[in-house]
Amino acid sequence: MAKRKKRFILYFIKLFAGIAVAIISGYFVYNYFSNPDDIFYPGFEISVPSGYPIHGIDVSKYQNTINWKQVKNMKVNNVTIDFVFIKATEGVGNIDNQFRRNWLQAQEQHICKGAYHFFIAGKDGKRQAANFIELVDLKKGDLPPVLDIEKTYGVGADELVKEINDWLTVVKNFYGVKPIIYTNIKFYETYLQNDFGEYPLWIAHYLQPAKPSIEHPWAFWQHSKSGRVNGISNVVDFNVFSGDSSEFKKLLIQ
């Protein structure tokens, strides 16, 4: 009887110990993956091009919940996150579900911010512009609005140019500033450079050591899509500005 009672007690001790270990382990796993406060990296884990004094990132809902204080405080070899482009809208009715939080908290950390719209070719350009304008309140010191255009979705060049022009015109007239165009080199040279060459360009070109391989002047260069930043659980795009701080200030909304 005594041995049976002893085994019974040991059984429950092991059971409760197992439950405790599971709870504690689950707590740490949950926090690691869900709490950006616990996301720290020794470096950006990418090659950052030299010769550029102003660096930034761009984010959307795919970066999940961001701890902007950690983003602001990260510094690697004198490189800090000086600006951020935040996804706001897509197409005629979609809103990025992290935009409002990202917009407010980046501002609270005094990180220069801008908003971008992901353009869906084949959808009405004016309605897409209205979607962006309804959500995004740009103020003095913000970056100009951005049109992200990367795909034709089978739309012909003439229709594509018309709808892009409609978006750019409506947004430019509303905010009183010329929007920035984001795209890749091939798309820009194929569809955009002949009609929209006067707009500031944010160009994507990866794995280049010094600058993107494009002759047209550019304002921003997205040089990597796999950087790491404290406070962000997923990889993030990295960018540089082409000029110095005085040129950067001139680009901002006055």
Which of 38, 124, 150, 195 is flagged as catalytic?
Answer: 150
CA distances from 74 to 23, 178, 179, 230 (A): 32, 31, 29, 6
Q: Please, are residues 216 and 233 in contact by the beta-carbon 8 Å criterion?
A: no
Q: What string of pLDDT tens digits covers the 254 residues of the chain? A: 555 555 555 554 555 555 544 443 443 333 444 444 445 678 999 999 999 999 999 999 999 999 999 999 999 999 999 999 999 999 999 999 999 999 999 999 999 999 999 999 999 999 999 999 999 999 999 999 999 999 999 999 999 999 999 999 999 999 999 999 999 999 999 999 999 999 999 999 999 989 999 999 999 999 999 999 999 999 999 999 999 999 999 999 99
Where is 108: in which H helix or E strand? helix 99-108
Check if 198 is active-site: no
Of 162, 242, 223, 153, the C-alpha closest to 196 is: 162
| CATH superfamily label, 38-251 | Glycosidases (3.20.20.80)
Q: Please, are residues 121 and 153 in contact by the beta-carbon 8 Å criterion?
A: yes
Check if 58 is active-site: yes
Q: Is the pTM of this model over 0.75?
A: yes
Which of 37, 38, 45, 58 is flagged as catalytic?
Answer: 58
